[in-house]
């Protein structure tokens, strides 16, 4: 077994750190670090307001993360409401 940590969950539509726009597609980027002691196959899931997000078309849910390295996982999203939204991510070792 190894220790994986989610470092960041970042919603991006075009520019990072800018308010989301209703109806505009974007990605949720989840950055995961492998703190060791072993390389690991990691699976990440992300949700927006409790709804499971799909991986971005060029990405996958499961990746190898070497010890002391970070790996990004990208998910597609499109906000359908205004106001505060809840984005959650979880990672597990496969």
The confidence score (pLDDT) of residue 20 equals 82
**Region of residue 5 (phi > 0: left; psi between -120 and 50: alpha; otherwise: beta):** beta
Q: Measure the CA–CA gap between 89 and 7, rounded to whole angstroms.
A: 11
Q: What is the pTM of this model?
A: 0.92
Instruction: Report the length, in residues, of the chain.
Output: 94
**Region of residue 23 (phi > 0: left; psi between -120 and 50: alpha; otherwise: beta):** left
Q: What is the pLDDT of residues 56-92, one digit of tens each?
A: 998 999 999 999 999 999 999 998 888 888 999 999 9
Q: How far is CA 34 from the centre of its chain?
A: 15
Whether pLDDT at 49 is above 80: yes
Q: What is the pLDDT of residues 2-47, one digit of tens each?
A: 999 999 999 998 777 778 888 999 999 999 999 999 999 999 999 9
Domain ranges of the chain: 4-93
94: part of which helix (H) or strand (E)?
A: none
Structure token digits, residue 92: 């597990």
Q: What architecture is domain 4-93?
A: Sandwich (2.60)
């Amino acid at each position: 077994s190894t220790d994986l940590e989610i470092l960041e969950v970042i919603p991006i539509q075009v520019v990072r750190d800018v308010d989301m726009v209703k109806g505009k597609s974007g990605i949720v980027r989840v950055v995961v670090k492998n703190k060791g002691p072993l390389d690991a196959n990691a699976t990440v899931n992300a949700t927006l307001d409790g709804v499971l997000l799909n991986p971005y078309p060029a990405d996958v849910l499961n990746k190898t993360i070497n010890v002391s390295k970070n790996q990004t996982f990208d998910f597609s999203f499109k906000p359908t409401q205004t106001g505060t939204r809840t984005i959650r991510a979880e990672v597990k070792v496969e």
